[in-house]
Structure 1
Amino acid sequence: MSSDPDDLIRAVDRARRLAAESFPDALSVVLAGSTAAGRTTTTSDLDIAVLIEEGGETRRETLRFEGRLVELFVHTRSGLDELFAADTASRRGVMQRMYAEGLVLSERDGAATCIQRQAEAALREGPGALAPATVESQRYALTDALDDLADASDVVERLAVAGVVLNTAADLLFDHCRAWTGGGKWLPRRLLQADPRHGGALLDGYRRLCENGEPEDLADAAAEILTLAGGPLREGYARTWRAATAEPRPGPHS
């Protein structure tokens, strides 16, 4: 995390220059991500959401501006509605969080402010509950992974199984808390926001396993979360296989 407030000032000024040069007619420009949250470093990229007029192209673009990597999220209002819907379905709320927590660099007729209110309301509401069949599938998967974790003697296999335990337990905890999920660096952040006690224990157990190879704390933390979700599931679990053809859906978050 940056300890120099000048880093933030320089990053915001750079984002303003980019917006003025590349999107002078934008309805709104919002700076999001670590920079807007005050966690910018000299290597942080700039996440910028740009609202444009209808008829434009909704897209995601990566570029470099004045030596800094920039992630552009460009969208029309209808395109943003589709992104909001997709992010709600994925339970991550990416664009909602960008607007709700972002810094407005420019706007016309209160465009960004209106979207921010919508995004804040969506984040407060949280994602819907997982389907019962999905919860059962996750319970079964975590039960199986915990069995594998107890049996794993190979170091690499144990680490691989631990990753499955972490992610599956996290999914169940997010659903139990009706909380937004996250991937990568956002997984631990979201876990601690959703449930500091259970999320923190899960992360501490995972860290100890990675550092010392000791699986007990991770297994105990995951087992507690499994209990919250309905308990272990082995005998009696069944599912019907339904073949489905899914076409790739390109877009800003693909």
Structure 2
Amino acid sequence: MDAPHVAQARRLVRDRFPDALSVVLAGSTASGRATASSDLDIPVLVGDDGVTHRETVRFEGRVVELFVHTRAGLAELFAADVANRRAAMQYMYAGGLVLVDVDGAAGRARALAAADLRGGPPALGARAVGSRRYGLTDALDDLAHAGDPVEALAVAGYVLTAAADLLCDHRRAWIGGGKWLPRRLLEADPALGAALLEGHLRLCRAADPTALLEAASAVLDLVGGPLREGYRRTWQGTEPSAP
């Protein structure tokens, strides 16, 4: 744990949230991955008369992401993060460093977060899996025949994200975005996850799509195989026109 980062977080809490019920320092600082420029991710539980919100501030020259919530707000955030299969707030609480814990409030929140994480994300329904299979099948064909290197890079990004989504669902593992995509992907399936990431890196470095095509095809095989001819989806009014 980076002591200067922790001390800085404690000073911010004393300055801005003297009446907080619970404060947790999460993110790269809590996981030991902080750099000199890392921001601070801080979930803050306030009283029921507070307002649930997210706010970005700069404190002593460092960017701080504040996740402020009441007890009811935290329950809603947890539910939303389970529904979107990311559990971002749960990971913050379960893996963060407790800075403030009034009457066990932080401990109770951490226990709820841990229970959600153990339960795993909800499975995608057959309709959603079919839509994703179709989209990935189409993207693999585009990637295999891409003539423009810029377009190939764009398609490769979609292939990686779509394959990761299907693989994490197949393994009943939480997904992630940005830097958390590779981390969650490797947790879900160390071997196939690494193959996807290495294939994407190889395409970016050497313009060779072969390894990414093979890895993403292996993911498709796990979830029912490529899907094109015979695919039919009835529009339900709230979905995009394309997968």
Amino acid at match of 2:25: L
Where do 1:105-184 residues align within 5 Å?
105-184=99-178
Distance 1:168 1:147 in 2: 14
Distance 2:187 2:142 in 1: 29
Tell me, what secondary structure is at the counterpart of 2:49? coil
The equivalent of 1:71 in structure 2 is 65
| Gap regions ≥5 residues in structure 1 | 246-254
**What TM-score do you get using the length of structure 2 for normalisation?**
0.96
Q: 1:117 deviation in Å?
A: 1.1
**What TM-score do you get using the length of structure 1 for normalisation?**
0.92
Distance 1:32 1:221 in 2: 33
Q: For each residue in 1:89-128, what CA deviation from the matched residue of structure 2 results, as whole angstroms up to 9, or x when unmatched?
A: 1111010000000000011111101111111111111101
The equivalent of 1:25 in structure 2 is 19
Amino acid at match of 1:9: A
Distance 1:157 1:69 in 2: 34
Q: 1:244 deviation in Å?
A: 3.5
The equivalent of 1:208 in structure 2 is 202
Tell me, what secondary structure is at the counterpart of 1:73? strand
Deviates more, 1:199-208 or 1:158-167: 158-167
Q: For each residue in 1:167-212, what CA deviation from the matched residue of structure 2 results, as whole angstroms up to 9, or x when unmatched?
A: 1101100100111110111101111111001100000000000000
Tell me, what secondary structure is at the counterpart of 1:127? coil
Q: 1:35 deviation in Å?
A: 0.5
Distance 2:163 2:32 in 1: 30
Amino acid at match of 2:86: R
Amino acid at match of 1:33: G
The equivalent of 2:38 in structure 1 is 44
The equivalent of 1:248 in structure 2 is none
Tell me, what secondary structure is at the counterpart of 2:170? helix
Q: 1:242 deviation in Å?
A: 2.0
The number of residue pairs the alignment matches comes to 239
| Gap regions ≥5 residues in structure 2 | none
Tell me, what secondary structure is at the counterpart of 2:231? coil
Amino acid at match of 1:128: P
Residues 1:57 and 2:51 are matched in the alignment? yes
Q: 1:55 deviation in Å?
A: 1.7
Amino acid at match of 1:163: G
Distance 1:164 1:103 in 2: 35
The equivalent of 1:35 in structure 2 is 29
The equivalent of 1:249 in structure 2 is none
Say what the alpha-carbon RMSD is for the aligned residues.
Answer: 1.0
Q: 1:49 deviation in Å?
A: 0.6
Distance 1:59 1:207 in 2: 37
Distance 2:97 2:8 in 1: 13
Tell me, what secondary structure is at the counterpart of 1:15? helix
Q: 1:38 deviation in Å?
A: 1.4
The equivalent of 2:189 in structure 1 is 195
Distance 1:159 1:43 in 2: 28
Distance 1:242 1:124 in 2: 33
Tell me, what secondary structure is at the counterpart of 1:39? coil
